[in-house]
């Protein structure tokens, strides 16, 4: 979007879409170029480069491998990206057979100009002479002195350049024969699912388990690695990472681990607990009705711009928005808003248009207890019509009424629960509110008048479906 012209400019169009799709646009340091990956008809991803000056898009990888996550280096000399040649079975979204197909990716660097040397050129393996070692030692300072000198120099530079706006070095790209300037980085082959640039020559790679099904089944977070191009050093940086972002200057990292977000320096491993964002204490003033009005408008804007049929199945979107907006003042909560979404989107007559989520209040639930029995109402009492035996040796199929010393029999009456007399037609389950997993004293008798009744202690279960299912199996076997 050109703010001055107030007009959007189309950069590219993808051939395919699925719910996991995300454009991975990254700006060059001088903001004159964009790089990103897109799927071509073969379903492979290729690295693309877009020039803001010419408005031209250029494909810079050959499409014979699945190339993703391109990023410019901070000096604008390189583009880093990953590529895979064993991804073939996975691009089809919703193909469950691909979940257990391991994918590996290698990391690459693309040299953008013809006149630049290889960043991986062989280094001299000759030992340094005595004169060179002496010169190095002479230039070395004690850590404290060096720190003070750097601090003083930094302050002087800041004062000197205070009024000078910093301009990024112009990024130039020679597209001729650029494929020959792609080099494999000395990084282990792993299942990398994200890549970001840090300081000059520094990249960060997020490694997922070889089988993504491990993540989907709650297998924890991923591993973040760091690679220093100048040192050609690859090392693990963080464990159990869900997502991360590197700051513009490359000095800080924001990452998610578990339910927490943390800001830490990129110079070394993050200290446990340091930099943790205390999001639970954050408060913000919100006006729900104002938000709901904007959200309804946003829904119709999204359908206008992204619905697969430009004609919206014949629906006049503006008229539909006007029709349903009159109900906004009558909404009492987010559930009402979701209901409004469902009703108005139903006008599209399209499958797979789902509504969910939102800031809903937490409603405290009370687990009722069950005795694992069927009842009949006779003589103004609840009578046990069937007592489910379960398998008391199995904790998952424990039957409350058949425990040793309890032994409730079919045909007996339930007289009282925790001292409260039970009479029909009062709802029987109200006597067992919040009793699941807790001891309850019930009074059982052979007759409705309570004569010869006895008291026993039982522990109701929260769910007796397992007892009923087992009984159904055994009944059919007989």
Asked if 233 and 240 count as a contact pair (C-beta separation under 8 A), the reply is: no
Helices (H) and strands (E) in the chain, counts: 7, 21
Asked if 36 and 25 count as a contact pair (C-beta separation under 8 A), the reply is: yes
Region 160-166: mean pLDDT is 56
**What percentage of the chain carries pLDDT values higher than 70?**
87
Q: Is the pLDDT of residue 266 over 90?
A: yes
Report DSSP letters for 121-173, one per residue.
PPPP-PPPPHHHHHHHHHH---HHHHHHHHHHHHHHHHHHTTTSPP-PPPP--
Cis ω before 226 (30° cut-off from 0): no
pLDDT at 439: 97
Query: What are 332-349's pLDDT values in tens digits?
Result: 999 999 999 999 999 999
Helices (H), 22-142: 130-139
Q: How confident is the model at residue 164 (pLDDT cuts 50, 70, 90)?
A: low
DSSP for residue 293: H
Mapping DSSP to helix (H, G, I), strand (E, B) and coil, where does residue 209 land?
coil
Distance (Å, whole) CA 355 – CA 63: 37
pLDDT at 157: 56
CA 21 to chain centre: 13
Q: Is the pLDDT of residue 6 over 60?
A: yes
CB atoms closer than 10 angstroms to residue 281? 6
Region 316-330: mean pLDDT is 97
Q: Is the pLDDT of residue 367 over 90?
A: no
Question: pLDDT higher for 362 or 355?
Answer: 355
| Least confident interval from 210-224, 334-348, 406-420 | 210-224
Copy the structure tokens of residue 281.
Answer: 């204490």
Q: Is the pLDDT of residue 315 over 90?
A: yes
Q: Is the pLDDT of residue 259 over 90?
A: no
Q: How confident is the model at residue 152 (pLDDT cuts 50, 70, 90)?
A: low
Q: Is the pLDDT of residue 154 over 60?
A: no
| CATH architecture of residue range(s) 288-348 | 2-Layer Sandwich (3.30)
Query: What are 236-257's pLDDT values in tens digits?
Result: 999 999 999 999 999 999 999 9
Question: pLDDT higher for 158 or 186?
Answer: 186
pLDDT at 160: 53
* Domain 26-118+171-279 top-level CATH class: mainly beta
Asked if 79 and 72 count as a contact pair (C-beta separation under 8 A), the reply is: yes
Give the residue among 161, 77, 154 at the shortest CA–CA distance from 117.
77
**Partners of 231 in the beta sheet?**
none
Q: How confident is the model at residue 362 (pLDDT cuts 50, 70, 90)?
A: confident
DSSP for residue 362: P
pLDDT at 68: 95
Q: Is the pLDDT of residue 159 over 60?
A: no
Asked if 213 and 100 count as a contact pair (C-beta separation under 8 A), the reply is: yes
Q: How confident is the model at residue 280 (pLDDT cuts 50, 70, 90)?
A: confident
373-477 fold: Pdz3 Domain (2.30.42)
Query: What are 187-212's pLDDT values in tens digits?
Result: 999 999 999 999 999 999 999 988 76
pLDDT at 92: 65
Region 403-424: mean pLDDT is 96
| Least confident interval from 77-81, 167-171, 285-289, 318-322 | 167-171
Query: What are 87-133's pLDDT values in tens digits?
Result: 877 766 677 777 678 889 999 999 999 999 999 988 776 776 666 66
Region 398-406: mean pLDDT is 96
Burial label, 195 (beta-carbon count in 10 A; 0-12, 13-18, 19+): buried
Region 3-17: mean pLDDT is 81
Q: Give me the residue label for tokens 């030692």.
A: 137
Q: How confident is the model at residue 214 (pLDDT cuts 50, 70, 90)?
A: low
**What percentage of the chain carries pLDDT values higher than 90?**
69
Region 11-23: mean pLDDT is 79
Query: What are 425-474's pLDDT values in tens digits?
Result: 999 999 999 999 999 999 999 999 999 999 999 999 999 999 999 999 99
Whole-number average pLDDT of the chain: 89
Domain limits, the chain: 26-118+171-279, 288-348, 373-477
Region 270-284: mean pLDDT is 84
pLDDT at 155: 57
Region 409-433: mean pLDDT is 96
């Amino acid at each position: 979007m050109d703010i001055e012209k107030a007009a959007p400019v189309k950069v590219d169009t993808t051939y395919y879409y699925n719910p996991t799709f995300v454009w991975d646009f990254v700006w060059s340091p001088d903001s004159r170029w964009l790089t990103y990956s897109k799927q071509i008809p073969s379903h492979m991803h290729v690295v693309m480069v877009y020039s803001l000056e010419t408005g031209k898009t250029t494909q810079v990888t050959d499409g014979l491998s699945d190339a993703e996550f391109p990023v410019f280096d901070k000096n604008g000399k390189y583009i880093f990206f990953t590529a895979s040649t064993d991804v073939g079975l996975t691009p089809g979204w919703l193909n469950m057979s691909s979940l257990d197909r391991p994918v590996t990716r290698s990391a690459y660097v693309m040299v953008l100009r013809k006149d630049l040397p290889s960043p991986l050129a062989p280094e001299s393996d000759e030992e340094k002479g005595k004169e060179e070692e002496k010169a190095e030692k002479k230039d070395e300072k004690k850590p404290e002195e060096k720190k003070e000198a750097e601090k003083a120099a930094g302050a002087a530079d800041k004062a000197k350049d205070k009024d000078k706006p910093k301009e990024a070095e112009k990024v130039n790209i020679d597209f001729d024969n650029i494929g020959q300037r792609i080099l494999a980085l000395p990084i282990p082959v792993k299942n990398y699912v994200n890549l970001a640039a840090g300081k000059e020559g520094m990249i960060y790679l997020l490694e997922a388990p070889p089988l993504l099904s491990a993540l989907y089944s709650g297998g924890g977070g991923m591993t973040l690695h760091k690679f220093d191009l100048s040192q050609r050093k690859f090392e693990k940086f963080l464990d159990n990472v869900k997502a991360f972002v590197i700051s513009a200057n490359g000095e800080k990292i924001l990452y998610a681990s578990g339910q927490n977000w943390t800001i830490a320096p990129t110079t070394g491993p993050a200290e446990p607990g340091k930099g943790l964002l205390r999001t639970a204490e954050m408060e913000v003033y919100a006006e729900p009705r104002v938000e709901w009005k904007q959200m309804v408008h946003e829904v119709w804007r999204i359908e206008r711009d992204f619905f697969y049929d430009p004609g919206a199945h014949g629906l006049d979107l503006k008229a539909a928005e006007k029709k349903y907006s009159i109900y906004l003042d009558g909404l009492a909560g987010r559930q009402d808003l979701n209901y409004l979404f469902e009703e108005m989107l139903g006008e599209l007559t399209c499958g797979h248009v789902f509504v969910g989520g939102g800031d809903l209040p937490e409603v405290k639930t009370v687990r009722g207890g069950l005795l694992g029995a069927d009842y009949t109402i006779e003589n103004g009492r609840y009578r046990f019509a069937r007592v489910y035996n379960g398998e008391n040796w199995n904790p998952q199929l424990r039957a409350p009424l058949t425990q040793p010393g309890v032994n409730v029999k079919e045909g007996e009456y339930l007289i009282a629960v925790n001292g409260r007399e039970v009479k029909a037609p009062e709802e029987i389950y109200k006597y067992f509110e919040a009793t699941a997993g807790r001891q309850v004293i019930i009074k059982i008798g052979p007759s409705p008048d309570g004569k010869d009744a006895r008291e026993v202690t039982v522990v109701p279960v929260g769910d007796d479906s397992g007892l009923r299912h087992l009984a159904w199996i055994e009944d059919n076997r007989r």
